Amino acid sequence: MLSKIFSAAITGLDAQLIEVEVDASYGLRKFDVVGLPDKSVQEAKERVGAAIESAGFKPPHHEPVKVLVSLAPADLKKEGTLYDLPIALGYLLADKKIKFDPAGKIFLGELALDGRLRPAKGAVCFAIACRQKGIKEIILPKINAHEASLIKGVRAIGVETLGQAINYLEGKISIEPASEKASSESNEHETGNGLELIAGQESAKRALEIVAGGGHNLSMWGPPGTGKTLLAKTLPEIIPPLSFEESLEVTKIYSVCGLLSGESLVVKRPFRAPHHTTSDAALIGGGNPPRPGEITLAHRGVLFLDEFPEFHRDALEALRQPIEEGSINVLRARHAMALPARFMLVLASNPCPCGNFGNPEKPCVCSPSQIRMYRKKLSGPLMDRIDLFINVPAVKYDKLANDEPSRQNSGQEARARVCFCRNIQKTRFNSDKTNAEMDIGQIKRFCRIDTNSEQLLKAAVNSSKLSARGYHRVLKVSRTIADLDGEPNILINHISEALSYRPPELI
């Protein structure tokens, strides 16, 4: 007899429905899986057989039955262990051991030998696919049910074992769908206020406010131990929480990668800090099949590259397109997918290999060629895509020994100013778009300047030290500074401050 039920597969960040057809007929014992399965899918017959026996049924290996499992579409490579549950249920249905109506449901989950269901990746993506295809119910491991319940209109039924799934489908037991309310309350967002605990560095804190307010990119340089890493780690704390749409985007990414720490929506801004030995594929995404990289995991958050001159040159140059486009297109011979990558890039480095170049108190021991090679890691085109450059100098003892937190730039006050700035942008663009994401048309519309400001920018551009891209980035930063000040118009002091964050060789 032939049975047909549905499962799903992850392709990039989206889920595609998979039709699981199982034919069980009398004959020599045989269990074949077709439809371009990988090794883990082919091994499903062993796990399925043991799990069926644990559920109290006679497995196909102990009966004179020929089983053929077809996974359609046949030209899509099937990977992973999510097909264990649908294959087991499909066989039991085809062999008339159980009876239920599979219409309007999809099934997924890896089976242990004792019939337990192990956690799955991508539950949010599967639930979104169900909603798009009009499927009302998804049956999956219980630990992933709250995750799938985030998508309205889909009943997420969590089961712990194969036997429990069979009893539910046959109407012997009742299982309440996972609660969306319980899911949303399980991951509360708590914000720290560490900005005021950083000694000194008031100019760097001001730059962080601008970066957070407009979603800009930042480069910090200075001697070792001056607080560059600590400053970068406080950046997510002063950015407003993710909106629901942004949270859903980030949750979808982390769900596919199996990185969800809780069972609910991600509401905290991502902060990713890969090591400088990270490969190109791990940073921008890739592999076979392609997987999201660090720039996608940092979507709507912060990507921090500490000691960026130590990164591979190719990895750094690969950041050019994602910085501009907010996405990355990963193309392989048999795979092609577009991944979101709208992040704030924060770079940190020493001025030279020894870290003492320009330090009046410690002599630099690096040769000019060493310094030149060290700084060439950040090419001109990539530097042109950075909005703010700041120096983080060494802090004197008096400020380090001061036990009282800084009141001038406390975390709560900075967060309030950034929220005020973001609200202005939300009203301006009627979305969660930031100033850093403005296109040319929006720059011309929202970044108009007066005559004095125009003369200042004209001098910078005509001196060939400010490119067309740099010109537009200065206007974006100026717009953010004006928003932080609550000014509807960009004034000359806003332009001057924005230009002060460009390095001398770029202005």
Task: State the pLDDT at residue 182.
Answer: 41
Whole-number Cα distances in Å, 243 to 251, 426, 452, 462, 499: 12, 11, 38, 41, 31
Task: State the pLDDT at residue 485.
Answer: 94
pLDDT, one tens digit per residue, over 131-171 is 999 999 999 999 999 889 888 899 999 999 999 999 999 99
- Which of 193-197, 273-277, 346-350 is predicted with the least confidence, judged by mean pLDDT? 193-197
pLDDT, one tens digit per residue, over 28-44 is 889 999 999 999 999 99
Kindly state the percentage of the chain with pLDDT values over 70.
Answer: 93
User: Could you give the CA distance from residue 55 to residue 267 in angstroms, rounded to a whole number?
Assistant: 39
Residue 464 has pLDDT above 70, yes or no: no
Mean pLDDT, rounded, for 60-78: 92
Cβ partners under 8 Å of residue 35, min gap 6: 69, 70, 71, 72, 73, 74, 78
Pairing of strands 271-272, 302-306: parallel
Cβ partners under 8 Å of residue 53, min gap 6: 59, 62
Cβ partners under 8 Å of residue 430, min gap 6: none
Whole-number Cα distances in Å, 432 to 95, 127, 208: 53, 24, 19
User: Could you give the CA distance from residue 73 to residue 17 in angstroms, rounded to a whole number?
Assistant: 9
Task: State the pLDDT at residue 355.
Answer: 83
User: Could you give the CA distance from residue 248 to residue 242 in angstroms, rounded to a whole number?
Assistant: 9
Task: Outline where DSSP puts E strands in 73-211.
Answer: 105-107, 110-111, 117-118, 137-141, 155-159
In order of start, what are the domains of the chain with their CATH numbers? 2-185 (3.30.230.10), 195-410 (3.40.50.300), 438-507 (no CATH)
Helix (H) or strand (E) holding 391: strand 388-391
User: Could you give the CA distance from residue 13 to residue 335 in angstroms, rounded to a whole number?
Assistant: 13
pLDDT, one tens digit per residue, over 428-460 is 999 989 999 999 999 999 999 999 999 999 988
Task: State the pLDDT at residue 409.
Answer: 57
Residue 184 has pLDDT above 50, yes or no: no
Residue 293 has pLDDT above 70, yes or no: yes
Most confident of 228-232, 301-305, 325-329, 394-398: 301-305
Residue 191 has pLDDT above 60, yes or no: no
Q: What one-character-per-residue DSSP string does 407-446 give?
A: STT-HHHHHHHHHHHHHHHHHHHTSS--GGG--HHHHHHH
The three-class DSSP label of residue 291 is strand
Work out the burial of residue 378: count CB atoms within 10 Å of its CB; fewer than 13 is exposed, 13-18 middle, 19 or more buried.
Answer: buried
User: Could you give the CA distance from residue 278 to residue 328 in angstroms, rounded to a whole number?
Assistant: 17
Kindly state the percentage of the chain with pLDDT values over 90.
Answer: 59
Task: State the pLDDT at residue 263.
Answer: 55
Q: Residue holding tokens 């720039």?
A: 295
Task: State the pLDDT at residue 405.
Answer: 55
**Residues 271, 191: contact at Cβ < 8 Å?**
no
pLDDT, one tens digit per residue, over 302-361 is 999 998 888 988 889 899 999 999 999 888 766 778 899 999 999 999 888 888 887 777
Cβ partners under 8 Å of residue 491, min gap 6: 450, 453, 482
**Residues 274, 308: contact at Cβ < 8 Å?**
no
**Structure tokens that stand for 458 in this block:** 């004209």
Task: State the pLDDT at residue 403.
Answer: 57
User: Could you give the CA distance from residue 226 to residue 396 in angstroms, rounded to a whole number?
Assistant: 10
Residue 106 has pLDDT above 60, yes or no: yes
**Residues 313, 377: contact at Cβ < 8 Å?**
yes
User: Could you give the CA distance from residue 241 to residue 259 in angstroms, rounded to a whole number?
Assistant: 19
User: Could you give the CA distance from residue 147 to residue 124 in angstroms, rounded to a whole number?
Assistant: 6
Mean pLDDT, rounded, for 244-258: 90
Residue 378 has pLDDT above 90, yes or no: no
Residue 415 has pLDDT above 80, yes or no: yes
Task: State the pLDDT at residue 103.
Answer: 93
Q: Which CB contacts under 8 angstroms, 24+ apart, belong to 327-334?
A: 328/284, 328/285, 328/293, 328/295, 328/296, 330/284, 330/285, 330/286, 330/290, 332/286, 332/288, 332/289, 332/290, 334/77
Work out the burial of residue 282: count CB atoms within 10 Å of its CB; fewer than 13 is exposed, 13-18 middle, 19 or more buried.
Answer: middle
User: Could you give the CA distance from residue 369 to residue 192 in angstroms, rounded to a whole number?
Assistant: 43
Q: Which of 335, 332, 342, 364 is nearest to 351 (CA)?
A: 364
Residue 96 has pLDDT above 60, yes or no: yes
Amino acid at 491: L
**Mean pLDDT of all residues belonging to the chain:** 88
Residue 404 has pLDDT above 80, yes or no: no
Task: State the pLDDT at residue 406.
Answer: 55
Task: State the pLDDT at residue 28.
Answer: 86
The residue count of the chain comes to: 507
Task: State the pLDDT at residue 265.
Answer: 82
293 vs 189, more confident: 293
Largest CA distance in the chain: 90
The three-class DSSP label of residue 349 is strand
**Residues 296, 341: contact at Cβ < 8 Å?**
yes
Mean pLDDT, rounded, for 386-393: 92
User: Could you give the CA distance from residue 3 to residue 100 in angstroms, rounded to a whole number?
Assistant: 11
pLDDT band at residue 192 using 50, 70 and 90 as cut-offs: very low
Question: Which residues are paired to 138 by β-bridges?
Answer: 106, 156
Amino acid at 220: M
